[in-house]
């Protein structure tokens, strides 16, 4: 085994960015995620394979096909280290648990999109809207439609619909310009919002209100703030949205997510791309010319005498104090193949690199990179292997 030290320019860290795609279709209380309409969620033991209903994602995907009375769960013991679960309030941790007590949580942790609707003129029941005030005003320099209160509308009192998107679906941010909302009535597309200018303003693409802004997207926070209240069907349809019979509008988008509102003639589609950033450690392992030509494979050598090709030495002589020692030497097998049948090729050094070990500064093995197919190396060959590790 040969050890080589990574040179300064052979190890570096970069960042890989990906844009995962998410698609939601909402109809009559059902949320379909990424067009998965199959009934294959049932496991051999559990009713749902991941103990999550369709439209939800499991954060860690634990408890796959486990019985409901045999689920694993997070736990921590109360000690002087003050370690605690995030779901346990500090006051509860201090007063409700004695030292040595086991504090438990539960899996799975799931998430899905949801809908929050507020009628016009009601100011008292808007904690979610009020919580977004500073965030919305922060983006005014990008588009005036973000303003919490302006000549374009006052979000503290106007009719409004919020669609929160958990970060598990998009990562660090929703990719700008990727949001696409569609509103269907009896299967026909009647409304279509997209961020044409990549500034967060969702612009209507259909009907007489084409070009109007139906809401804004908080890309970093994962919120669709919908304020478009015009009649999308242009007088052709009314339905029960959020408890009252009204014309379809963008503020009613996704009204049936809760399940208590069916609005059977309406369906909603939303898709977007997320942004995930993964640090990647890249290591360049060099196999120099005329080196690494000895194999640790036990079949690489034998105790048999030197053959007619001259590959190996039978014995070595050492002299000293009038004494002679004879030490048998292992012979290297000739693995070179000939182009002719029943004929051995001339002996040449060659090995097959099948794995690369990674060691820390104390020479402890911390990782192994294995080749899908061993790489042949002869004395005149030199290679550089690129090893990548997500960190």
In the chain, where are the structural domains located? 112-277, 280-390
Burial call 332-371: b when 16+ CB within 10 Å, e when fewer: bbbbeeeeeeeeeeebebebebeebeeeeeeeeeeeeeee
3-state helix, strand, coil in the chain (%, to 5): 10, 40, 55
Q: Is residue 183 exposed (0-12), middle (13-18) or buried (19+ Cβ within 10 Å)? A: buried
Closest CA to 272 of 42, 20, 66, 98: 20
Q: How far is CA 80 from the centre of its chain?
A: 35
HEC secondary structure over 37-72: CCCCCCCCCCCCCCCCCCCCEECCCCCCCCCHHHCC
d(CA 118, CA 252) in angstroms, rounded, equals 10
d(CA 152, CA 103) in angstroms, rounded, equals 50
**Residue 179 dihedral angles phi and psi, to the nearest 5°:** -75, 135
Whole-angstrom CA distances from 17 to 196, 213, 217, 219 are: 23, 30, 21, 16
* Res 349: pLDDT: 81
Q: Is the pTM of this model over 0.95?
A: no
256 DSSP β-pair partners: none
Cis status of the peptide bond prior to 108, with omega within 30 of 0: yes
Taking residue 330's Cβ as centre, other Cβ atoms within 10 Å add up to: 12
Are 154 and 137 within 8 A, CB to CB? no
Closest CA to 284 of 389, 390, 391: 389
pLDDT tens for the chain, 391 residues: list them: 678 899 888 999 999 999 999 999 999 888 999 988 654 455 566 556 777 888 888 888 888 888 888 889 999 999 988 889 988 888 898 889 999 999 999 888 889 999 999 998 866 678 999 999 999 999 999 999 999 999 999 999 999 999 999 999 999 999 999 999 999 999 999 999 999 999 999 999 999 999 999 999 999 999 999 999 999 999 999 999 988 899 999 999 999 987 778 899 999 999 999 999 999 999 999 999 989 887 777 777 765 555 444 444 445 555 556 566 665 566 777 777 777 777 777 878 888 899 999 999 899 999 999 999 999 998 899 999 999 998 8
Handedness of CA 220, 221, 222, 224 (dihedral sign): negative
* Res 58: pLDDT: 86
Closest CA to 70 of 37, 114, 107, 102: 107
Taking residue 17's Cβ as centre, other Cβ atoms within 10 Å add up to: 11
Element (H, E) at 92: helix 90-96
**Residue 318 dihedral angles phi and psi, to the nearest 5°:** -125, 135
Does residue 322 sit in helix, strand or coil?
coil
């Amino acid at each position: 085994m040969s050890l080589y030290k990574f040179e300064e320019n052979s190890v570096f860290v970069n960042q890989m960015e990906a844009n995962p795609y998410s698609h939601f279709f909402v109809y009559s209380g059902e949320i379909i995620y990424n067009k998965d309409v199959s009934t294959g969620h049932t496991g051999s033991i559990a009713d749902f394979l991941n103990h999550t209903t369709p439209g939800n994602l499991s954060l860690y995907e634990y408890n796959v096909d486990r019985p409901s009375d045999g689920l694993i769960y997070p736990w921590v013991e109360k000690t002087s280290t003050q370690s605690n679960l995030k779901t346990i309030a500090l006051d509860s941790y201090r007063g409700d648990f004695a030292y040595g007590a086991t504090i438990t949580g539960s899996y799975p942790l799931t998430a899905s999109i949801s809908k929050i609707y507020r009628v016009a003129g009601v100011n008292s029941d808007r904690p979610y809207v009020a919580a977004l005030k500073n965030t919305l005003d922060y983006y005014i320099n990008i588009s005036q439609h973000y303003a919490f209160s302006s000549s374009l509308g006052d979000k503290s009192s106007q009719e409004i619909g919020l669609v929160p998107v958990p970060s598990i679906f998009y990562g660090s941010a929703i990719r700008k310009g990727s949001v696409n909302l569609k509103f269907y009535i009896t299967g026909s597309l009647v409304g279509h919002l997209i961020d044409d200018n990549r500034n967060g303003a969702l612009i209507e693409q259909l009907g007489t209100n084409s070009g109007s802004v139906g809401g804004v997207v908080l890309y970093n926070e994962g919120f669709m703030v919908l304020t478009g209240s015009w009649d999308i069907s242009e007088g052709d349809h009314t339905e029960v949205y959020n408890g009252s019979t009204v014309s379809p509008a963008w503020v009613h988008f996704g009204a049936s997510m809760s399940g208590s509102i069916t609005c059977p003639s309406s369906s909603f589609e939303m898709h977007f791309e997320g942004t995930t950033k993964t640090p990647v450690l890249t290591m360049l392992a060099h196999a120099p010319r005329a080196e690494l030509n000895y194999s640790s494979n036990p079949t690489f050598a034998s105790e048999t005498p030197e053959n007619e090709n001259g590959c190996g030495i039978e014995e070595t002589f050492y002299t000293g104090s009038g004494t002679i020692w004879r030490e048998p030497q292992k012979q290297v097998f000739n693995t070179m193949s000939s182009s002719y049948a029943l004929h051995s090729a001339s002996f040449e050094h060659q090995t097959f690199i099948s794995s690369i070990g990674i060691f820390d500064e104390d020479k402890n093995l911390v990782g192994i990179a294995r080749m899908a197919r061993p790489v042949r190396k002869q004395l005149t060959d030199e290679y550089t292997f690129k090893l990548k590790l997500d960190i």
